[in-house]
Structure 1
Amino acid sequence: MTPKRLFSIFAIGEAITWALLILGMILKYGTRTTDVLVSIGGGLHGFMFLAFFVVTLLVGISQAWRPWVTLLGLASAVLPFTTIPFDVWASRTGKLDGPWQLAPGGRAPRGGVEKAVQWAFGHVWLTAGVLAAFVVVVFTTLVVVGPPGS
């Protein structure tokens, strides 16, 4: 899977879960009919937000994005639906072009973080499992703590 494809999947997924959460809030606070979609949409959005964060860091590091581009990518998840315009912009400006640069046979890593990412790409299934577990642990912790102000 290319960086472009992976990033696009998570950018679209993050936007879809924003829509679910917003719809849930409209039903709960606007129509006062049900709050079930806030629980479902909120949970899915929280999980996807964390996963998008991880994917953005991996893509940004591998594709040698400038720090401000990576920060902009991370910030795009904060406002509803802005991951999609960021994805389009990153695609049009070549930020998502080509294969994984730090994958085996790619460019030489510069520094410890890139060495760790290169190692991770050499151990894809282990890395995927560890990152998935990380997202699950953080998500579960946040669910147990509860929403702000509760």
Structure 2
Amino acid sequence: MRPLGPGRLHRLLADAEAVTWALLLIGMALKYLTSTTDLGVTIAGPIHGFVFLLYCVSTVVVGIDQRWRAGTIVLGLASAIPPFATIPFERWVRRRGLAGPQWRLRGAGGERTLVERVLAAVLRRPVRFALVALAVTALVFRVMLWVGPPGGA
């Protein structure tokens, strides 16, 4: 099994975000167009929201690690909003070589800023990083569920 480097992680979550968008759109069609059932939205909505947040976290982490410009990180985050836009963004990143197979900050001495030093410490312990990222994402997700869906629907 190949290691989960920044390029592979970003691609995996970009694809997952697009798939969950498709599931949510199908659920919305069943609910609003055919008035068949709202089960699709009930199931796909939270899954898509969770994967959306994971994609956003990974985009920021990969962007910092791979030294993307701030505009590239913002574009990556914005690509999660319209359906399926993460796919062309990820392909653009891959074609430009912006997300390689290795974590730059996982090695010693590559940090410059405080954010890079913190991220380097996290990347050197990937299991702990995954648990922390999952916990933070779950917390944000829980807060978003508590606040409610956009538009109060």
Band of TM-score, shorter chain: over 0.9
Q: Which amino acid in 1 is paired with 2:128?
A: L
Q: 1:68 is matched with which residue?
A: 71
The answer to whether 1:6 aligns with 2:9 is yes
Offset at 1:82? 0.3
Identity of aligned residues (%): 44
Root-mean-square deviation over aligned CA pairs: 1.1
Q: Which amino acid in 2 is paired with 1:143?
A: L
The answer to whether 1:41 aligns with 2:44 is yes
Could you say what secondary structure the match of 1:102 adopts? helix
Paired with 1:117 and 1:140, the residues of 2 have a C-alpha distance of: 24
Could you give the per-residue CA deviations for residues 70-97 of structure 1, whole angstroms, max 9, x where no partner exists? 1101110011000000000000011012
* Structure 1 unmatched ranges of 5 or more: none
Q: Which amino acid in 1 is paired with 2:143?
A: T
Offset at 1:126? 1.5
Paired with 1:32 and 1:39, the residues of 2 have a C-alpha distance of: 14
Offset at 1:54? 0.6
Could you give the per-residue CA deviations for residues 39-79 of structure 1, whole angstroms, max 9, x where no partner exists? 11111110001100110011000000011111101110011
Kindly indicate whether the alpha-carbon contact (under 8 Å) linking 2:8 and 2:101 is maintained by their aligned counterparts in 1: no
Equivalent pairs counted in the alignment come to 149
Paired with 1:66 and 1:24, the residues of 2 have a C-alpha distance of: 36
Kindly indicate whether the alpha-carbon contact (under 8 Å) linking 2:53 and 2:141 is maintained by their aligned counterparts in 1: yes
Could you say what secondary structure the match of 1:64 adopts? coil
**Which stretch has the larger CA shift, 27-36 or 92-101?**
92-101
Q: Which amino acid in 1 is paired with 2:114?
A: G
Q: Which amino acid in 2 is paired with 1:90?
A: V
Q: 1:116 is matched with which residue?
A: 118
Poorly superposed stretches of 4+, deviation over 6 Å: none
Q: 2:86 is matched with which residue?
A: 83
